[in-house]
Amino acid sequence: MKDREKYFKLFGRLNSLAEPISWSTAVSHVLEWLTWNTRYILGVSKTKYAHQIVDWIEDDAVRALDREEKKDYVRLKLKELERSVRALRALQVHDCLIEISP
């Protein structure tokens, strides 16, 4: 089953934009979509994200740490990941600007 079909099954389907719905319902649907389809925001699915976190925790250097130290380690790795994603996006924007400029 494709994401689209799962979404329609879970949240229902809007057959026409001519059907009136409240703005709060529209915002609610967008937030639900973003929550369930993280790859459009994070560039990675929630499953892959969870697998990456487990991989970090199972690293030999981290395995012997207590729970709070593991949490701190994962927070640090997530911050590093966020910085690298921001840097990558900045490079992509920079490359696009270079292609556009005369």
pLDDT tens for 18-40 read: 677 777 877 887 787 777 776 66
Report the predicted TM-score, pTM, of the whole model to 2 decimal places: 0.47
What would you measure as the largest C-alpha separation in the chain, in angstroms? 59
Q: What is the pLDDT of residue 78?
A: 82
Q: How many whole angstroms separate alpha carbon 48 and alpha carbon 54?
A: 10
Contact 55, 74 (CB under 8 A): no
Residue 102 per-residue DSSP state: -
pLDDT tens for 56-74 read: 888 888 888 888 998 898 8
What does pLDDT average to over the chain? 75
Q: Please indicate whether residue 13 or residue 49 has the higher confidence score (pLDDT).
A: 49
Nearest in space to 6 (alpha carbons), one of 35, 36, 42: 36
- Count of CB atoms within 10 A of residue 78's CB? 14
Q: How many whole angstroms separate alpha carbon 83 and alpha carbon 80?
A: 5
